[in-house]
Amino acid sequence: MVIPTGGMGATFRWVRDLWLAMGGGGFPGPAGSIGGVLGNVYYVDGLAGNNANLGTKNNPWQTVAYALTQCTNDNDDYIIVKDCWNEATPIDINVTRVHILGVSSNPARRYCTMTATGDTAIFTISAACNYAEIAGFELGGGATHAAIENVGGTPMGMIIHDCIFGSTFSMDTPQDGIRIGANATAMRIFNCRFYGTGGMAEGTITRDGIRFAGAGNTLGGELEGNYFLGCPGVAINLQRADGMIVKDNVIACDADTQGSAITLAANATGCLVVENKALFGEQTAGMANNPYLDQAAAQSNHWTNNYKGNTLVDPA
């Protein structure tokens, strides 16, 4: 089955059309989703909804947190979020195979915006949300937290895609975009944008775009086709990882600093880093320092076709 490209709108139209064509029967999930057949579909509108409602399109609930309490593990339930600007955070995603998809109620914004209500993450993840999907959000986060973060347990098979991290529209200053502080297995992060404060008037991330800093092994996973602009720390910082694929990411570095685009620390091994592009400033050959850094033992990781400006370069 061919699934459309072209953003969340195309995906949702594809879902609607296929649903109608099959008479409302089950069907495989939209782009990025994991599994089986469509479960229940619930709607959230933080402005017009009420948790005493039915959770339908015309009678939505008010909060994502409440919608999660109505979902069932492994049922491929969908939560369609029209607005959730003022919802209390953090929101703990504690249902397996749940799909949380944002659709902006503001015609001037592409995605549904969420802001932290304190120094917290927006979403927290753990093994309780194995195979969950998050897409279609513009996320802030607390000053010492990430927008999406894992602080315990090992989420498996999660997908995060088509999100914006660190936009000034959220009015937050998250430390990181996505932070895996404990562990994660086979996580896929693709087609997301990460905006840092360095040189970016619209950016608010104060450290790393994606930071894998867990104490255990982070097994497998893909970081593919993401965009990073001006993250003051490291765009992709893998302090610990095993078998991660890092491919086709475009990184505008905050400074001409070694390792500012992609850093693999000593405990990052078995990774494949291919076809990434890093740049700084207006000149294609203007970087004196290598934006790629591999601190693991020799031959622990595999690098090819990565660019510094328009020049192919091996990691430092």
pLDDT greater at residue 310 or residue 225: 225
* Mean pLDDT, residues 180-190 taken together: 93
pLDDT, one tens digit per residue, over 151-171 is 888 999 999 999 999 988 778
What is the reported pTM? 0.88
Structure tokens at 44: 């959230």
pLDDT, one tens digit per residue, over 201-242 is 678 999 999 999 876 667 789 999 999 999 999 999 999 889
What is the b/e burial string over 101-135, where b = at least 16 CB atoms within 10 angstroms of the residue's CB?
bbbbbeeeebbbbbbbeeebbbbbbbbbbbbbbbb
* Mean pLDDT, residues 180-198 taken together: 93
User: How far are the Cα atoms of 6, 75, 138 from residue 39, in angstroms, in the given order?
Assistant: 24, 5, 25
CB 42 within 8 A of CB 79: yes
On whether the 34-312 domain is CATH 2.160.20, my answer is yes
